[in-house]
Structure 1
Amino acid sequence: MTVRDRGLAVVVAVLWGANFIAMHVGLEYFPPIFLAGLRMLVLAVPALVFVPRPRVPLRWLIGFGLGFGTLQFLFLFLGLRAGMPVGLASLVLQASGPFTLLLGALLLRERVSGRQWAGIGVAVAGLVTIALVRAQAAAVLPVVLTLLGALGWASGNLCNRLAQRDGDRVDPLHLTMWMTVVPPVPLLVASAVVEGPATGWIAVGAMFSWDGLPALASLGYLSVVATVVAGAMWTALMRRYPAGVVAPHSLLVPVVGMALAMVLLGERPSVVELVAGAVVVGGVLAASAPARRRRVTDVDATVA
């Protein structure tokens, strides 16, 4: 990669790391399920009007939307609302990488190298350590919810991959935009049932007041900056270089997320959690490395 493109990859990682702070702010104003649906609704409307529908099988488009756009953010936002520290959430969500490899091996019979299996094992060991530490504080539920979000992301990755494999000249950014058409209905219906039919919309009305400006800024960041701007830059890098060259830069996301959470929110993870986090990052890095003598062309992830 050129120096300029490495810098661009770092900028994307910073934008995605700051995304978790925006989630924290948004969840102070909106119910979690509603916020997950509203974030996607903001993008779904212009996607329907302005973005050409990608020529991919409908089942993979729906699967991408349900996995990446619905289940990931449903469980992630519920985990954050249940008490998952923001910085730790940015780290635990990286379990989507090993989950993607596991699902690919189990469902698509993709080959996983010994080094990748070892990386999965290391990452799982780190995640189990974090869960045990949290369990001692009676806070294991937020970790489980965040892991379910990572599993949703991984299932979306597989559908994304299959859509691009079976589609005709697919533009990844168009595919990502059209993915947002799927989540609003199930998420907003679930919000109406669980959180109340008017609760979220009352928060939307208050968002346009002076006190609601942080909520408006959070929603704008989640929808426009983190998804469209950062996603477009990441897609451009993925088109320019093999995925194995670009993808490791995403491991900077939890570093940025945890650093910002410590500075802005005063979070202080324990020494054990920090060590376990380093183990998780190392395992994900090993698991995400492509097998030798194998050209990697799939775009495996779009970060939260």
Structure 2
Amino acid sequence: MSAGDVLCIAGVVIIWGLNFVVMKWGLQGLSPMLLGALRYTVASLPFLLFVRAPTVPWRFVVAYGLVQGIGQFGLLFTALAVGMTAGMASVVMQTQALFTLLLAVPLLGEKGAPLQWLGLAIAAMGLAAIASAHGDAPGQMTMLGFVLTLGAALMWALSNLVVRFAGNTGAKYDPFAFVVWSSAVTLLPFYGLAIGVDGADATISSLLNLGWREAFASLFLGLFATLLAYTLWTRLLQRHHAGRISPFSLLVPVIGLWAAAVAFDEQLALAQWLGVIAILFGLAINQWAAKRRMARG
């Protein structure tokens, strides 16, 4: 990899690691659905007039927007609002790699290597350890937040498969355009959900009284975490084998746990530390086995 590629990887890891703390900040003054609406407003509306629609069938653009936007971040924002801690969210979301493996078997006809299944089993034990340390006191991870975060990871895995199916069509498309237009797909559903859950008056009041913290969170999540990071990551995957790039995503929880400790003084229980180690170890085995399988095949 070139020095530019290394810098891109470092940038994506840092942005995605800080992402969870910024989400928590935004949710201090915004509801989950309204934060999602503002995130994707920033990521789409300023660019629609200047960015051509991607040359990929529209069903993939719509599916990706709904699954990755409404599904993944709708659930994740809700999880963070109901008691999921930022640091643990950064860890649990990485299980998307394991969900992707599970879904690829029936949907893509892929067969994971034995070591990949071993990694999945180890990560599953880590999830069980993390779940056992839930609580309802301030600053603790709630069980509802944990379950919703797992759902968000599942939605991320489904969005990975949407991208795989889109790639199988043979269409060559610009990742930036794909992110911009799929972000636009989420706007009506997110604003509709915000009005339906919070009420029209509360939604309008939140928009009119947007504070600097909420505005910063919306801009960071829309411009950096969505447009910049996803575009850089997709372009890296276009230039290099997935087995060479994807292991770097394991650094995201390291940044996420550190940032949450600094920003919110989040402290992990012993069972949670053991769960984090098991998940990262299981994911590392999974990635190594996938890379080894690609080298052979």
Tell me if both proteins adopt one fold, taking TM over 0.5 as the criterion.
Answer: yes
1:83 corresponds in structure 2 to: 83
**What one-letter code is carried by the residue in structure 1 that aligns with 2:230?**
G
User: 1:295 and 1:135 mapped to 2: Cα distance?
Assistant: 44
**What TM-score results when the alignment is normalised by the length of structure 1?**
0.90
SS of 2:294 mapped into structure 1? coil
2:240 corresponds in structure 1 to: 241
Q: Deviations over 1:196-243 (max 9, x none)?
A: 123233222212xxxx11111111100011122223332332233211
Cα RMSD for the two superposed structures: 2.0
**What one-letter code is carried by the residue in structure 2 that aligns with 1:176?**
V
Q: CA deviation at 1:52?
A: 1.3
User: 2:111 and 2:181 mapped to 1: Cα distance?
Assistant: 30
User: 2:217 and 2:26 mapped to 1: Cα distance?
Assistant: 5
1:260 corresponds in structure 2 to: 259
SS of 1:46 mapped into structure 2? coil
Instruction: Please list every run of 5 or more consecutive structure 1 residues that lacks an aligned counterpart in the other structure.
Output: 297-304
Q: Deviations over 1:219-275 (max 9, x none)?
A: 110001112222333233223321111111111111101101001111101122012
Q: CA deviation at 1:4?
A: 5.0
2:14 corresponds in structure 1 to: 14
User: 1:279 and 1:184 mapped to 2: Cα distance?
Assistant: 37
1:209-228 mapped onto 2 (5 Å cutoff): 212-228=211-227
2:125 corresponds in structure 1 to: 125
Identity of aligned residues (%): 35
Q: CA deviation at 1:47?
A: 4.1
**What TM-score results when the alignment is normalised by the length of structure 2?**
0.92
Q: CA deviation at 1:56?
A: 1.6
1:1-304 mapped onto 2 (5 Å cutoff): 1-134=1-134, 139-207=142-210, 212-289=211-288, 290=290, 292-294=292-294
Change in 2 beyond 3 A, CA 1:291/1:235: closer
Query: Does the CA-based 8 Å contact 1:79-1:145 persist in structure 2?
Result: yes
User: 1:108 and 1:231 mapped to 2: Cα distance?
Assistant: 23
Q: CA deviation at 1:187?
A: 1.8
User: 1:104 and 1:155 mapped to 2: Cα distance?
Assistant: 9
User: 1:113 and 1:279 mapped to 2: Cα distance?
Assistant: 19
Q: CA deviation at 1:288?
A: 3.0
Query: Does the CA-based 8 Å contact 1:123-1:282 persist in structure 2?
Result: yes
User: 1:271 and 1:60 mapped to 2: Cα distance?
Assistant: 42
User: 1:280 and 1:201 mapped to 2: Cα distance?
Assistant: 41
User: 2:177 and 2:295 mapped to 1: Cα distance?
Assistant: 24
Query: Does the CA-based 8 Å contact 2:99-2:154 persist in structure 1?
Result: yes
Q: Deviations over 1:90-112 (max 9, x none)?
A: 11111111011111112221121
Change in 2 beyond 3 A, CA 1:159/1:47: farther
Q: CA deviation at 1:295?
A: 5.9
Change in 2 beyond 3 A, CA 1:78/1:293: closer
Q: CA deviation at 1:167?
A: 4.7
**What one-letter code is carried by the residue in structure 1 that aligns with 2:243?**
G
User: 2:234 and 2:159 mapped to 1: Cα distance?
Assistant: 16
SS of 1:199 mapped into structure 2? helix
**What one-letter code is carried by the residue in structure 1 that aligns with 2:287?**
S
User: 1:169 and 1:102 mapped to 2: Cα distance?
Assistant: 27
